[in-house]
Amino acid sequence: MIPSILARVFIDGGLATLKAGRSLVGLTAMALFAAACGSTAPTGGRLASRPTRPPVTPAPSLDLTPVMDAAGDDQFQITLTLPQAQAMTTTSLLPVAEFSYLGPEDSTPIFNGIPLVLWRIQAVGGSRAMETVVEDVCFRSELRKGVIIRQDFMKSGLSTDDVTVGFDQAWYVQPQLKLPGGRWAISATLDFDLGDCGLEHRAIQATVEIEVFR
């Protein structure tokens, strides 16, 4: 029989050994887990931070109020309407011109080139522009009193690779009207002669402006 003192020492020593073994096993398991996760113990330096994202610029709040201009005299009138006062460079725009004969006769002949309504786009404060190319013919049209004739915008002009003065061929090929950033003036001109070709010339122009954001 083992003396009680020795037994206590033996038992206590065994417990100590067992506890130490458990601690050793626990530390070993933690080390293996850390190695598997690819983590390392802190070294006292700063922790790596995530890269910061650049601030996002919010899209401007556009003024979608239609803009309109009218011009004319006691016989003829033209009105130009644009659906909105501001747009993005990706916005498709559709300016619309409407013209009519006001009288005093029930109808009147006019003599014009083709097209009858001439379009022009001009950068406000700049030289970049588009201007309708006119087929110079003596075409007779009959306008009836009070009848409104609608003419949607049409691209027409001479293409150029110099974007400071005009627009390139790719821009003309696209049927939609999309404008670069900036402020633009869009004009529609009712251009014709009265009496016969080359006699009494009339040119009645309406103009609206639009601001385009990039």
Do 3 and 77 share a structural domain?
A: no
Do 73 and 142 share a structural domain?
A: yes
- 10 in a structural domain: yes
Q: What is the pLDDT of residue 136?
A: 83
- 110 in a structural domain: yes
Domain count, the chain: 2
Work out the average pLDDT over 27-50: 46
Alpha-carbon separation of residue 130 from 84, 122, 150, 155, 168 (angstroms):
20, 7, 21, 8, 10
Do 188 and 134 share a structural domain?
A: yes
- 46 in a structural domain: no
Do 114 and 189 share a structural domain?
A: yes
- 112 in a structural domain: yes
Q: What confidence tens digit (pLDDT) does each residue in 43-87 have?
A: 455 545 566 666 655 556 999 999 999 999 999 999 999 999 999
Work out the average pLDDT over 170-184: 96
Backbone angles phi, psi at 42, to 5 degrees: -60, 140
- Residue whose entry in the numeric block shows the structure tokens 């004969």: 101
Q: Is the pLDDT of residue 192 over 50?
A: yes
Do 94 and 34 share a structural domain?
A: no
Domain holding 9, by residue range, is: 1-40
Do 148 and 91 share a structural domain?
A: yes
Peptide bond into 104 cis (omega under 30): yes
Do 146 and 102 share a structural domain?
A: yes
Query: 14-18, 117-121, 178-182, 198-202: which range is least confident on average?
Result: 14-18
Provide the whole-model pTM: 0.72
Do 168 and 205 share a structural domain?
A: yes
- Residue whose entry in the numeric block shows the structure tokens 């401007």: 60
Q: Is the pLDDT of residue 38 over 80?
A: no
- 58 in a structural domain: no
Q: What is the C-alpha to C-alpha distance for residues 166 and 76, in angstroms, rounded to an integer?
A: 31
Do 84 and 181 share a structural domain?
A: yes
Do 142 and 86 share a structural domain?
A: yes
How many residues are listed for the chain in this entry?
214
Q: What confidence tens digit (pLDDT) does each residue in 149-171 have?
A: 999 999 999 999 999 999 999 99
Q: Is the pLDDT of residue 11 over 80?
A: no
Q: What confidence tens digit (pLDDT) does each residue in 88-130 have?
A: 999 999 999 999 999 999 999 999 999 999 999 999 999 999 9
